Amino acid sequence: MNTALLKNISKQTCAWCGGKYHDRAHVPTKFLIPKSERNNSKWPILPSCQQCNQGLKLDEEWLTIHFSSMLYDYSDVAKKMFDGPVTKHLQKLTPIAARYNKYLSLVELKVNGNSLGLKTRIDMSQEDCNRLERVAEMFARGLYYWHNQQTAQKLKAKVVYLTPKRFKDFSTHMKPLKLYPIFPITFEYAYGYVSATGEAAFIIMIYGKPAFQILLIKKEKYDRMESKVKSGEIIQIHEPSIEIY
């Protein structure tokens, strides 16, 4: 392992919770990255406690299975991942694999009466959405530490799952942010930081497609946003849904 990748490892504190450092965690998770790309000097490796490093393992599996299958026809990397390690993982019939196999289906997609062929569909429950959002938040908080050498514990996370219908907003949100192509196509992120408040914004791209927008913001701002959601002023954007690619 290239120890030059480690930042502030001597502090002996977890990059997520600020607790005692016991382990080292990759951002993004190894499970998301093809083995052929893992020897990468830009890959952040952060100090972590065991709970923060292992606590979202099942969620990380779900995220990789989800995006590699949904983007199978759109990304060579997604296809490579799904045909290789993901398929092997699904054959083991882990709890996450069983969940995926139960709710995955192929549907015929038609536009103006014309068939576009069979497309992947997965019925997304609220828990499915929550799994994806938990991993996205973990990525953002880890990358926040990577850039700022401090945890984002005092900030609340607002995660937006970028469905295909929301891709049109992608370029608008990207403009003020700086792009960091850790793994070109496979995993990239755009990042913006407000030094006056310590707040930050991320857009995370997985297998070549915008996947999440994450805001790390102060509690009072987060509460105002949630209040507007409840009042109907802002439409809730991470509801359970059926996604078709």
pLDDT score for 13:
87
pLDDT score for 28:
94
* Domain edges within the chain: 58-126
Q: How far apart are CA 206 and CA 34, in angstroms?
A: 12
Range from 202-211, 215-224, 227-236 carrying the lowest mean pLDDT: 227-236
Encode pLDDT of 33-68 as tens digits: 999 999 988 899 999 998 998 888 889 988 998 899
Q: How far apart are CA 74 and CA 209, in angstroms?
A: 9
pLDDT score for 173:
58
Q: What is the pTM of this model?
A: 0.82
Report residue 141 CA to chain centroid gap: 11
Encode pLDDT of 82-117 as tens digits: 999 998 888 887 777 777 777 777 677 677 777 767
User: 85 φ, ψ to 5°?
Assistant: -65, -35
Encode pLDDT of 224-245 as tens digits: 877 766 665 544 444 333 333 3
